[in-house]
Copies of this chain bind each other. A is one copy, B any other.
Amino acid sequence: MIKHRSQNETLIEVTVIGKDRKGVVAEITNAIFSRGGNIQQISQNVVRGLFGMQLEATFNEIDKKVLDESLLHLSRKLNMEIKIHYQESNRSKNIAVLVSKEEHCLQKILEARKNREIYANLSVIIGTDFTFVQMAKNAGIPYRVVANSKSQEETEARILKLIEEFNIDLIVLARYMRVLSPNFVWRYPNRIINIHPSLLPAFPGAYAYVQAFEKGAKIVGCTAHFITDELDQGPIICQDAFDVLPSDTLESIKSKGRELEAKTLLKAIKLYLEDKLEVYWGRVQIRA
């Protein structure tokens, strides 16, 4: 949801994913240019033979049908997956929440929804097991389990299918404890929000509180950030922190941390839904 457009411009985001081969950048950019688009930002990457490209373009006038057909044609010709995401600010957004075993973040989101603090559709909750099936049922939200798949690839394919099926705008990782591959992440630039239990870039990885405690950090916090293909390195949306007291134990730090995680993640979701987040060269700027 990156925007830097004047009044009458339309912003589109295009993602391209497929087997690496030369000439792809030229084909895609030419298609955009020849339909009247101005390319605002491009990033390309190749990881383990997989090519991914994200492109933002603005149009003064846009013929969606023509553009869609043009890129569909290219998609077939190049044998690559090409998706266009149009900004449609009128309709309310669809959110998918991904969870593993910890409930505090999911619970906070469900409460906020109940209290009408967030204006969006909580379309689906996707879990790695059945832990939250009842909680989802009580809230009247579809619950899908994607774990027990043989491979990460398969698990992610199932999630991707659900994201399509529910026409999801925003993916929230509410203590979802698996790393998402570039093949997943590249498809949703700046539309996957994660909560990490440290003040990133300090203490990335799986043992943030333990490491902060053993390192003797005197301020501990958490970070809501967009996901990129670099683990725990994506654009920071918001951070909150608390002082570690001499009397604190690892357990008391974890407990305070969890409470803060839920608040901070919710804050980030609200900023997103209020359309206040602009990502520019890897940095989030919060609009007034």
- What residues of chain A have their CB less than 8 Å away from a CB belonging to chain B? 4, 20, 22-23, 25-26, 29-30, 33-34, 38-49, 57-58, 199-203, 210, 214-219, 221, 223, 235-241, 246, 250, 280-288
Contact = CB atoms under 8 A, between A and B. Distances in A.
Q: Kindly report how many copies of this chain are found in the complex they form together.
A: 4
A58 B285 contact: no
A26 B58 contact: yes
A249 B16 CA distance: 25
Given A216-B235, A288-B246, A29 B33 contact: yes
Contacts of A240: 219
Contact of A239 (B218, B236, B283): B218
A223 B203 CA distance: 15
A71 B46 CA distance: 30
A216 B282 contact: yes
Nearest 8 CB-CB pairings of A with B: A216-B283, A26-B38, A202-B202, A218-B239, A46-B281, A33-B33, A219-B239, A246-B286
Contacts of A25: 39-42
A22 B44 contact: no
A49 to B, nearest CB: 8
A288 B247 CA distance: 9
Contact of A44 (B41, B221, B250): B41
B39 A26 contact: yes
A42 B42 contact: yes
A285 B244 CA distance: 11
Contacts of A246: 285-288
Which residue, A20, A219, A286, has most C-beta atoms of chain B within 10 A?
A219
A216 B228 CA distance: 15
Contacts of A41: 25, 44
A4 B281 CA distance: 28
Contacts of A42: 25, 42, 44
Nearest to A281: B46
